[in-house]
């Protein structure tokens, strides 16, 4: 009596497997996102004079727009070179501006790169300590990273605008 039951179960298993094989295959996995362009290599550390030039450009842009901001310049290693808090800037922006500058320097790309990655659903960058908020930009001289600038006090877009103006002064 066990033989017919066993045969029935074996036949049912074969039929189930056959129908599973006849189903439509799953869609292909989505293509991997494009790798970021290669980052420029590190160079010498930004000088205090260069940091002052970049910070002055950032401050001028912020004043022109009527924004009070914190401006931080770091070396390629993330070591602090200059920190400036404009009158009226919120206290929380001190740490945020520093972290934006450190993120840009440590990962060799603007913080807007990480912000866009998070918007796209990729959270890996924030687990590494990167600050995914626009406003951190690389300072590049002779096609090498000499440091980074971080700006905080406005919206991410405002911070980014001020940081990009500052970074453009050292080309």
Q: Which residue from 144, 113, 148, 138 is spatially nearest to 128, judged by alpha carbons?
A: 113
Asked if residues 139 and 169 have their Cβ atoms less than 8 Å apart, the reply is no
CA distance 104 to 123: 17
Please classify residue 55 by burial: count the beta carbons closer than 10 Å to its beta carbon, then call 0-12 exposed, 13-18 middle and 19+ buried.
Answer: buried
pLDDT at 124: 84
Classify residue 15: in a domain, yes or no.
Answer: no
pLDDT at 76: 98
Classify residue 69: in a domain, yes or no.
Answer: yes
Asked if residues 79 and 44 have their Cβ atoms less than 8 Å apart, the reply is no
Classify residue 158: in a domain, yes or no.
Answer: yes
pLDDT at 126: 77
**Considering the entire predicted model, what is its pTM?**
0.78
Classify residue 5: in a domain, yes or no.
Answer: no
Q: Domain holding 118: CATH number?
A: 3.30.450.150
Overall number of domains in the chain = 1
pLDDT at 19: 47
Classify residue 42: in a domain, yes or no.
Answer: no
pLDDT at 123: 87
Classify residue 137: in a domain, yes or no.
Answer: yes
Asked if residues 84 and 53 have their Cβ atoms less than 8 Å apart, the reply is no
Q: Determine if residue 129 is left, alpha or beta; phi over 0 gives left, psi from -120 to 50 gives alpha, anything else beta.
A: left
CA distance 117 to 146: 25
Tokens of 93: 């922006």
Query: With a cut of 50, which residues of the chain have pLDDT below it?
Result: 6, 17-22, 29-32
Classify residue 62: in a domain, yes or no.
Answer: yes
Domain extent at residue 161: 48-168
Classify residue 147: in a domain, yes or no.
Answer: yes
Asked if residues 13 and 114 have their Cβ atoms less than 8 Å apart, the reply is no
Asked if residues 75 and 81 have their Cβ atoms less than 8 Å apart, the reply is yes
């Amino acid at each position: 009596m066990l033989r017919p039951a066993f045969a029935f179960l074996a036949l049912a298993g074969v039929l189930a497997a056959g129908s599973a094989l006849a189903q439509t295959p799953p869609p292909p996995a989505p293509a991997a996102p494009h790798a970021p362009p290669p980052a420029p290599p590190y160079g010498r550390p930004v000088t205090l004079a260069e940091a002052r030039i970049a910070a002055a450009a950032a401050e001028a842009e912020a004043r022109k727009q009527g924004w009070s901001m914190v401006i931080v310049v770091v070396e390629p290693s993330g070591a602090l070179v200059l920190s400036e808090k404009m009158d009226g800037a919120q206290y929380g922006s001190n740490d945020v501006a520093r972290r934006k500058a450190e993120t840009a320097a440590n990962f060799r790309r603007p913080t807007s790169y990480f912000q866009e990655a998070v918007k796209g659903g990729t959270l890996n960058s924030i687990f590494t300590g990167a600050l995914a908020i626009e406003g951190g930009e690389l300072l590049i001289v002779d096609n090498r990273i000499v440091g980074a600038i971080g700006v905080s006090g406005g919206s991410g877009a405002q911070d980014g605008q001020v940081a990009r103006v500052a970074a453009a002064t050292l080309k």
